[in-house]
Chains A and B, each alone.
Chain A
Amino acid sequence: MTEIVMSQTPPILHGPSEKERKYDRQLRLWAASGQAALESANILLVNSGAGTVGAETLKNLVLPGIGRFAIYDEAQVEEADLGVNFFLDDSCLGKSRSQSLRDLITELNPDVQGTWYPNEGVKTLESLLADSPVFTAIIYTHPIRLDQLSQLKAYGQQHKTPLVAVHSAGFYSYFQINLPGAFPIVDTHPDETATTDLRLLTPWPELVAFAEGLTKDIGGLDNFEHGHLPYVVILLHYLEQWKAAHDGKYPTTYKEKTEFRKVVQDAARTGNPEGGEENFDEAAAAVLKTLVPPSLPSGLKEVFEYEHSDPVEQRSGFWLIADAVKQFYEKHQCLPLPGKLPDMKAQSKVYIQLQGIYKAKARKDAAEILQMVQAAPGGERVDPAEVDLFCKNAAFVKLINATGGGGSSSSSKISRADRLKSAAALEFANDETAAFTLAPLSLLPIYLALQATAHAVDKPLNADGILAVVAEQAPGAEQNERVVQAAQEVARAAGGELHNVSALTGGMVAQELIKIVTKQYIPIDNTCVYDGIVARCQVLRL
């Protein structure tokens, strides 16, 4: 039953490579697979305005080793740049800002390639977009010219490229991610404590047999053996007893579970020298958490119910596996077993055997799903490792931008303008009751005020000018007192950035791009607003 984990010959000892040493602290977060994805990414920054938030974002992507980047920035370096942007110095004054930024940012990591535009050969954004290899993602900073924005949007749609708009001014900032379609993530890195799935209410024959073998003479075990029964085995044993006394039913209500917990607690031996048994303590503590019937988590439910509008998307590995997992779920009324056994007090050999039983069942489930995948058209191309990963994480799979993507269905075509209006109505209604609910106040006013200056390329707007634009975009909002204040605060900055706010925002944008590029962890959906006065963020779907 136990797995052969090592061959007879001693394993080859190899220390980490130079690159593994350099990237050690991040490989612990996204592993070699995430690193490989980063290293094959090619990011475009279209930098305008005061230009610091874009530079700070790039810094945070170049350091962990993004493959390549390009900066498009039409500005020349001015005095004001040197008071806010760390990747420019006195020697850059009067030179092309994109070239200077490229030089001082590539210095951070010799593994990264950077290019700058406009230059002798490529003079406009339009020609850059037409002539470059496809970008993995594009970041653009506000304020941006409308014609350039529409070029970027067209490019994003054509190449299915994620676009990230970033705006930082004074104490405020926001960024907004525009994904080209529904964005599924398998490797979501849930908190370890959330991932325990022991199937104690639906044990399979091998597990039942193993538990019975250890507990058939539970009263006759010596204190050492009794005190080292794994809590999984203890719970399975007393669940059987419970069922026998309760018409074959498991404890399901809270009351029954606490009664059952008492049964387990009382079964611990107290006459031993320790005056109790840790493994029974562990068993009792696990009752409420682990005695739960299988259910379908909301994230996966959304995946199962997702209606495709794009046939190409539908034949991708993720969706073929999702279909198979759905079939599996309908057939067995449970998800594939992840197969991970938490640590628990037990003898080494017994624990390893039990771990082997969970792993074997997980492999069997994954094999069944792989078979289903391969039976589907196009399924033979799917990487079995991808199936394994999905099975291990099935309960935590997440779909981002489910309604905004797919490219067609009419519901997804609710215009951004309408979404903004309904979001404003909802947020302001919440704020009315915030005094009672103690919920933090909405940061939508900041978004509205900043967004009003998104194309103020030539001249910053004053507060009245900002409110006039807000009135067009979310009629009535311009009357809201907090919107008026936000407009005054945005006017105070007059398009200028504060380094701290841009560094903070650049950090968040880089985190999000790392998540999108590596397809690990969960990106925001879809707008994050930051208020540097109260030191707080809010994520809104706009």
Chain B
Amino acid sequence: MTSTEVHPASEPARWVYLDRIRTRPGPSTNPDVFSPEAAAAAMETMKILVIGAGGLGCEILKNLALSGFKDIHVIDMDTIDISNLNRQFLFRQADVGKYKAEVAARFVEKRVKGIKITPHNCKIQDFDEDFYMQFQLVVCGLDSIEARRWINATLVNMVDEDVEDSYKPLIDGGTEGFKGQARVIIPTITSCIECQLDMHAPRAAVPLCTLASIPRQPEHCIEWAHLIAWDQEKPFPQLDKDDPEHITWLYQKALERAAEFNIPGVTYSLTQGVVKNIIPAIAATNSVIAAACCNEALKIASNCAPALGFPEANYMMYSGNDSIYTYTFKHEKKDDCPVCGQLARNMDVDPTWTLRELVDSFAARPEAQLKKPSVRAEGRTLYMQSPPSLEAQTRPNLDRTLVELGLEEGQEIAVTDPAFATVTFKFKLKFKQ
């Protein structure tokens, strides 16, 4: 699909630096795949999707626009908040409250002539495979693991071995403070985001009894206010973590709790950080990671130099806390990956557990991280989260032990979660002695 308003070939002077690289091979360019004439032409018509128009997303849009991509789509459901302005450089004070995707797309289109950016102010889950099929490349700059897992599973599912176009390379970036990572995933060919899930283990939750009776840290007081006091007192119908009034209420409660136990250190900022699980973020790190991702996009699209994932290293870790350190390596594909592998994944369980204990354990397991799991075993439904009738029917099973339910060592169970509708997670039970 070529759009008529795109005519960069008429501006060779403008793209002279890029074309020196795109149209002339270097010593590392693979002559079997590189064609000097084809590279730039292919990028003219290529459709590329950007997921996220936040800290990474703003950088990614700028970088792709200046890397010769002409037809860019961007998805983000969020609106602009004042705390975005220290790094999301396409937004100004006057844009607060507007859709990120919309404002970012208009800004870059206006700044870089001859490119088209189509914004989608919605969730990635609002689109189906037909939508994703139109793109040749996907670049992801998200802060949510869940959204990453969803798009990963979707792209893996779309692969049809007989159709070359059904392989959509996914380039993913993430940052935290001075650190970050960039990775390239070729669905079903390289290790996928689900294969790498244990590299992003969830933070260990504080036991409820600590919160309820023996708090020691300011975070314990804040979590108490958040998880216990709020539910007891319901000061507002629904907790809105972006509403300062709600955060102030939690802060006040946490302070009272801290005073009761003589615990120092509860602040408004900490309250907000704990409740919203805020990850520190700066422009400089976003700049590094987004550019690392887009550099791979340029290499994949033009073949002007070998890209990550083809086939050796596929992952670059970056750390700027202590000097600068990068580690670029090959993350191996896992045969027992629930998304791209064939085998069930081993799971250590205690046979004396109740089904409830098993179900609750999925959220914290680094290899699972499922919040609303439904469980089946050999065609039998053990527990379903929905619909309500089925939930009620299977609820009694929750209080029975695994042994009572007839589960055996080595047995496979199938787990589904509404967050990843297309995936069935297969686990093989390993009983603890």
Contacts and interface: CB of A to CB of B under 8 A. Distances in A.
Interface in A10-63: 10-11, 13-16, 18, 20-29, 50, 56, 59-61, 63
A83 B66 contact: yes
Contact of A343 (B216, B251, B280, B322): B216
A131 to B, nearest CB: 30
B328 interface: yes
Contacts of B178: 29, 511, 521
A188 interface: yes
Contact of B326 (A352, A502, A537): A537
B28 A15 contact: no
B271 to A, nearest CB: 10
Interface string A137-161: 0000000000000000000000000
A432 interface: no
Interface in B245-290: 247-248, 251-252, 255, 258-259, 261-264, 268-269, 272-273, 278-290
Interface residues of B, number: 89
A504 to B, nearest CB: 4
A245 interface: no
B321 interface: yes
B241 interface: no
Interface in A253-307: none
Interface string A519-542: 001111100100011111101000
A522 B264 contact: no
A361 interface: no
Contacts of A84: 17-18, 66
B26 interface: yes
Contact of B282 (A11, A26, A501, A532): A26
Contacts of A497: 17
A344 B326 CA distance: 34
A385 interface: no
A63 B17 contact: no
Contacts of A507: 283-289, 291
Given A16-B268, A28-B278, A79-B11, A504 B313 contact: no
B268 A28 contact: no
B389 to A, nearest CB: 36
A509 B73 CA distance: 30
B177 A29 contact: yes
Contacts of B269: 16, 20, 24, 27-28
A513 B278 CA distance: 24
B81 to A, nearest CB: 9
B70 interface: no
Given A5-B262, A25-B280, A536-B316, A506 B292 contact: no
A73 interface: no
A521 B320 contact: yes
Given A80-B17, A347-B214, A493-B21, A503 B284 contact: no
A64 interface: yes
Most buried by B among A78, A107, A346, A503: A503
A78 B16 CA distance: 11
Nearest to A534: B328
A308 interface: no
A86 B62 contact: yes
A140 to B, nearest CB: 19
Interface residues of A, number: 93
B142 to A, nearest CB: 16
Interface string B212-223: 001111000000
Nearest to B260: A348
B308 interface: yes
Contact of A346 (B216, B273, B286, B326): B216
Given A63-B86, A348-B215, A535-B328, A489 B27 contact: yes
Most buried by B among A349, A521, A537: A537
Given A86-B111, A496-B20, A535-B313, A28 B82 contact: no
Contacts of B316: 535-536
A412 B214 CA distance: 56
Most buried by B among A11, A28, A188: A28
A514 B280 CA distance: 15
A534 B313 contact: yes
B86 A348 contact: no
B17 A504 contact: no
A455 interface: no
B51 interface: no
A212 interface: no
Given A13-B248, A79-B14, A346 B214 contact: yes
Contacts of A24: 83, 86, 269, 272, 278
A21 B82 contact: yes
Contact of A503 (B93, B290, B325): B290
A-B pairs, 10 with minimum CB distance: A496-B17, A507-B287, A507-B288, A504-B291, A499-B66, A503-B291, A510-B284, A79-B13, A500-B295, A63-B283
6 contacts: A20-B269, A64-B283, A171-B26, A352-B262, A503-B294, A522-B321
Given A28-B278, A108-B89, 13 more contacts: A13-B252, A15-B244, A22-B83, A228-B214, A347-B214, A440-B328, A498-B298, A499-B67, A502-B291, A504-B288, A533-B299, A534-B313, A536-B328
Interface of B: 11, 13-18, 20-21, 24, 26-28, 59, 62-63, 65-67, 82-83, 85-87, 89, 92-93, 110-113, 177-178, 182, 210, 214-217, 244, 247-248, 251-252, 255, 258-259, 261-264, 268-269, 272-273, 278-292, 294-296, 298-299, 305-306, 308, 313, 316, 318, 320-326, 328
